[in-house]
Structure 1
Amino acid sequence: MEPLNSDYEVVAREPNPRARFNFLYIFPVLGGLWLLYLLVAAVFQLPITGVVDPIMGFMLVLFFVLAGLLFWALAPKANR
């Protein structure tokens, strides 16, 4: 019987630079929820006049958040 290989190698796990882009998945989800709300409002004839202005302001804020997240996700590594 052969002895088991008990050499333990420590493998440093490198962070995945593409993992920073996972934060950007929130934007399509929010867009899908907005379209779902518009669809429900169209089917059931719900008034959306009180919702449009706050949502447009929220979308304006999200545009700047998206720009900031893109700069953060595309930033080069600090240790290079």
Structure 2
Amino acid sequence: MAAYDWLGSIALVPVATALAGPAESAFGRTAALWGCSALILLLTLAVLCVPDVRRLRRREPKPVAEGKPATELTAAQEKR
């Protein structure tokens, strides 16, 4: 899921950069910034309207076996 998030974030940077100048020219700097803030708020609220997103819970980490550093994973653990 994080890969899709990064793809969307990185892929839209050129589009946002290309639209920033015309938006500032058309509406003024203050109005363009407030508009961008409103857009971010609207998109965040739209994501929170998805029931599966609202139901996400934090998973508790599994205890690490004694004598084994936490950075070493077995092949079975890596496949999970």
Per the shorter chain, which TM-score range? Answer: 0.3 to 0.5
State the TM-score, normalizing by the size of structure 1. 0.34
Q: Which has the larger radius of gyration?
A: 1
State the TM-score, normalizing by the size of structure 2. 0.34
Higher RCO (CA < 8 A, seq sep 6+): 1
